[in-house]
């Protein structure tokens, strides 16, 4: 190769480096100098550039399936419930009832025994005998009141004698309910006026207001309603005030 060609190649190699390209000495100088911090703070990262994190969901219990609910219900149903026990009747009142039952047996039906209260039921044909026993043996010596209740669905009327005692101190606060029932269509009962004189006006009121005729009573007469009363007894459930 000629000397001229070599000179041209050297010129080309020298000129191949651009003006802006750093030289080896420049790069060395840049590495040796420490980098200066920028005077302007870098802008905060954009919120759009960071991925959004969804809030953590609270843990939920697993849904109860129909099968598990059914199983739980059947388990609860199979659990035996303790039977309700009736309270023990008071000793004194129970002693009175035991005496009555020993005397009359199944003739007397005991409806309830409570503190200071006893309720017994007898058939109409036995009420006079039972009343005499209550007066003479247990000292229930007077009738405080007589009431009646209409039971149209049973086609019966119930008459209740509330008996008390003046002569026996421990019975001073006790009330014995002596009850009996009669047919509603032909309401007739034996009177107790020969056992308890105090029932005279009470039985008359039951006769007038409920239509119960007391056989042996000397005065089955009205004393509250007008003499020309022509409607059914006003305390029966089917009585209706005219015009309403």
CATH value at residue 171: 3.30.460.80
67 located within any domain: no
pLDDT in tens, the chain (244 residues): 555 555 554 554 444 444 444 444 444 444 444 445 444 555 555 544 455 555 555 555 555 554 454 455 555 555 667 666 778 899 999 999 999 999 999 999 999 999 999 999 999 999 999 999 999 999 999 999 999 999 999 999 999 999 999 999 999 999 999 999 999 999 999 999 999 999 999 999 999 999 999 999 999 988 899 988 889 999 999 998 776 5
How many domains is the chain built from? 1
Radius of gyration of the chain (CA): 54
- CA-to-CA distance for 166 and 140, rounded, in angstroms? 8
102 located within any domain: yes
Cα 169 off chain centre by: 41
pLDDT at residue 54, rounded to an integer: 52
pLDDT at residue 47, rounded to an integer: 46
224 located within any domain: no
pLDDT at residue 72, rounded to an integer: 52
Tell me the sheet residues that pair with 38. none
29 located within any domain: no
Instruction: Print the domain residue range for 115.
Output: 91-215
Helical (H) or strand (E) element with 156: strand 156-164
pLDDT at residue 25, rounded to an integer: 43
pLDDT at residue 56, rounded to an integer: 54
pLDDT at residue 195, rounded to an integer: 98
3-state helix, strand, coil in the chain (%, to 5): 35, 20, 50
pLDDT at residue 22, rounded to an integer: 46
Strand-strand pairing, 213-215 and 188-190? parallel
146 located within any domain: yes
**What would the two tokens of residue 22 be?**
């750093």
123 located within any domain: yes
**What would the two tokens of residue 242 be?**
């005219």
pLDDT at residue 37, rounded to an integer: 47
Strands, sheet with 175-183, edge to edge from the N-terminal-most edge strand:
109-114, 117-121, 175-183, 156-164, 142-151
Q: Are the C-beta atoms of residues 192 and 161 closer than 8 Å to each other?
A: yes
41 located within any domain: no
Strand-strand pairing, 188-190 and 142-151? unpaired
Q: Tell me the pTM.
A: 0.65
The residue whose two tokens read 């200066």 is 36
84 located within any domain: no
**What would the two tokens of residue 210 be?**
């409920």
């Amino acid at each position: 190769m000629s000397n001229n060609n070599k000179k041209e190649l050297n010129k080309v190699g020298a000129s191949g480096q651009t003006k802006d390209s750093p030289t080896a000495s420049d790069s060395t100088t840049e590495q040796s100098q420490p980098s200066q911090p920028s005077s302007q703070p870098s802008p905060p990262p954009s919120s759009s550039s960071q991925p959004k994190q969804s809030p953590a969901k609270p843990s939920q219990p697993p849904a109860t399936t129909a099968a598990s609910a059914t199983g739980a219900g059947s388990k609860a149903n199979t659990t035996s419930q303790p039977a309700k026990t009736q309270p023990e009747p008071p000793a004194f009142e129970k002693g009175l009832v035991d005496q009555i039952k020993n005397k009359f047996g199944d003739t007397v039906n005991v409806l309830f025994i409570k503190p200071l209260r006893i309720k017994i039921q007898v058939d109409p044909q036995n009420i006079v005998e039972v009343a005499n026993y209550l007066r003479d043996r247990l000292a229930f010596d007077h009738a405080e009141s007589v009431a009646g209740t209409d039971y149209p669905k049973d086609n019966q009327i119930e008459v209740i004698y509330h008996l008390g005692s003046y002569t026996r101190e421990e019975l001073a606060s006790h009330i014995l309910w002596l009850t009996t029932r009669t047919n509603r269509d032909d309401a007739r009962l034996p009177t107790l006026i020969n056992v308890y004189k105090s029932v005279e006006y009470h039985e008359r009121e039951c006769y007038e207001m409920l239509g119960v005729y007391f056989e042996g009573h000397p005065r089955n007469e009205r004393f509250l309603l007008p003499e020309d009363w022509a409607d059914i007894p006003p305390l029966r459930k089917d009585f209706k005030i005219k015009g309403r």
